[in-house]
């Protein structure tokens, strides 16, 4: 469970706006931006492009909220780049501009506790893997201090909701600005609650 803890640090190759870069790190956003970091299983698959393209379509909304979006999978930076330049009609994600991190060593996924499969040593001393070691659909909201404030992990067949990610950013920022907590289904502009019995009573009376 990473909630309330420092987001695991990493430095890795990535593709940003169609270009391969080295030494990409979330440290560049500390004190500056909120981060939505999401993991996905594989490039050139079926559910994954719907998510990546969906986050790209909503990128302006995240930017309004001072939030950057970063994707990550266990594919290489070269696979990311090839996917980014492949037209969408051919299964690509052409036009995705936010960073896609290459977790080729699988250490980032492991540190964020989203790595599927299990490595073990058999009775002959050979390293084995039970299942395929790729990332589940993990999503993490990291605040400007580098603290994980929200996380959700879906199994591979289950796509996520971009609107829910935006709602979580709104809720965190509302709490930070006003000190009010956000109840079930809260949306930006809704009444929130002060963390006291009186606040609960006032909310329920509306």
pLDDT in tens, 18-71: 999 999 999 999 999 999 999 999 999 999 999 999 999 999 999 999 999 999
Question: In the predicted model, what is the mean pLDDT of residues 109-119?
Answer: 93
Q: Which range, of 31-45, 79-93, 101-115, 127-141, averages the lowest pLDDT?
A: 127-141
pLDDT of residue 202: 58
Q: Which residue has the tokens 């990473």?
A: 2
3-state SS of the chain? CCCCCECCCCCEEEEECCEEEEEECHHHHCCCCEEEEEECCCCCCCHHHHHHHHHHHCHHHHHHCCEEEEEEECCCHHHHHHHHHCCHHHCCCCCCCCCEEECCCCHHHHHCCCECCEEEECCCCCEEEECCCCECEEEEEECCCCEEEEEEEECCCCCCCHHHHHHHHHHHHHHHHHCCECCCCCCCCCCCECCCHHHHHHHHHC
Q: For residue 114, is pLDDT > 60? A: yes
What does the pLDDT read at residue 121?
Answer: 82
48 among known catalytic residues: yes
Query: Per-domain residue ranges for the chain?
Result: 12-159, 161-206
Out of 3.40.50.720, 3.40.30.10, 3.30.980.10, 3.30.70.260, which CATH number does the structure's domain 12-159 have? 3.40.30.10
- Between CA 60 and CA 51 the distance in angstroms is 16
Q: Which two tokens stand for residue 198?
A: 């009186």
Catalytic residue among 48, 72, 84, 182: 48
CA dist list (Å): 25 to 8, 99, 108, 164, 165: 11, 10, 11, 25, 21
Residue 197's pLDDT band, with cuts at 50, 70 and 90, is low
* Minimum mean pLDDT range among 88-92, 117-121, 175-179, 190-194: 117-121
To the nearest whole number, what is the mean pLDDT of the chain? Answer: 93
What is the pLDDT confidence band of residue 132, given thresholds at 50, 70 and 90? confident
Q: What is the mean pLDDT of residues 85-106?
A: 97
pTM, two decimal places: 0.91
Q: Which residues contact 198 (CB under 8 A, 6 or more apart)?
A: none
- Residue 198 confidence class, pLDDT cut points 50, 70, 90: low
């Amino acid at each position: 469970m990473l909630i309330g803890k420092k987001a695991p640090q990493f430095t890795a190759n990535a593709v940003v706006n169609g270009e391969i870069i080295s030494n990409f790190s979330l440290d560049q956003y500390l004190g500056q931006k909120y981060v939505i970091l999401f993991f996905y299983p594989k490039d050139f698959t079926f559910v994954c492009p719907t998510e990546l393209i969906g986050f790209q379509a909503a990128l302006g909304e995240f930017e309004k909220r001072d939030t950057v979006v970063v994707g990550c999978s266990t594919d290489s930076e070269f696979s990311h780049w090839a996917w980014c330049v492949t037209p969408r009609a051919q299964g690509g994600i052409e036009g995705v501009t936010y960073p896609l991190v290459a977790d080729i060593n699988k250490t980032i996924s492991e540190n964020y506790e989203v790595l599927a499969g299990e490595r073990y040593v058999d009775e002959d001393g050979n390293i084995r893997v039970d299942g395929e070691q790729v990332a589940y659909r993990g999503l993490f909201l990291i605040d400007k201090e580098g603290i994980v404030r929200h996380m959700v992990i879906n199994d591979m067949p289950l796509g996520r909701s971009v609107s829910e990610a935006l709602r979580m950013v709104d809720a965190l920022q509302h709490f930070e600005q006003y000190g009010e907590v956000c109840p079930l289904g809260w949306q930006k502009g809704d009444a929130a609650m002060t963390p006291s019995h009186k606040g609960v009573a006032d909310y329920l009376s509306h």
